[in-house]
Amino acid sequence: GAVVSQHPSWVICKSGTSVKIECRSLDFQATTMFWYRQFPKQSLMLMATSNEGSKATYEQGVEKDKFLINHASLTLSTLTVTSAHPEDSSFYICSASEGGPGTDTQYFGPGTRLTVL
């Protein structure tokens, strides 16, 4: 089956620093990758959609200069939280779809727990 990995699985950082999270599709090429944020006991909220080789599309209310997304290859997308603050602490989840958007299934990574002190 399609497997998506994330690294790191958890990270603790000081306020003001930047943190990079990697999302990899291990056994398929991901045309599109998605980044979500999940608060405790709540649902997933889509942050942005990234396609390989093009700029990410951010959802309304998501600061693109704060959450930098790079989809460098068909198997790797990165999310960088710049100048992190305690309110950025959350569970960040990526997903990837292997085919064309709109009709394909998303496969989810295990998530990254970010804690900003």
User: What are the distances in angstroms from CA 65 to CA 2, 3, 21, 74, 99?
Assistant: 31, 29, 16, 23, 28
With tokens 């980044």, the residue in question is 35
Q: Kindly give the residue spans of alpha helices, DSSP state H, lying in the chain.
A: none
Nearer to other proteins, 16 or 99 (CB): 99
Query: Is residue 110 part of the contact set for other proteins (CB under 8 A)?
Result: yes
Q: Which of 43, 60, 61, 87 binds other proteins (CB under 8 A)?
A: 43
Nearer to other proteins, 96 or 116 (CB): 96
Query: Is residue 102 part of the contact set for other proteins (CB under 8 A)?
Result: yes
Please list, in sequence order, all residues whose beta carbon lies within 8 angstroms of the beta carbon of residue 69, skipping any fewer than 6 positions away: 35, 48, 50, 56, 77, 78, 79, 80
Query: Is residue 52 part of the contact set for other proteins (CB under 8 A)?
Result: no
Q: How many residues bind other proteins (CB under 8 A)?
A: 24
Least separation in angstroms between residue 106's CB and other proteins is: 6
Cβ 92 vs Cβ 70: under 8 Å? no
Q: Which of 13, 44, 62, 76 binds other proteins (CB under 8 A)?
A: 44
Binding site for other proteins (CB under 8 A): 32, 34, 42-46, 49, 57, 93, 95, 97, 100-111
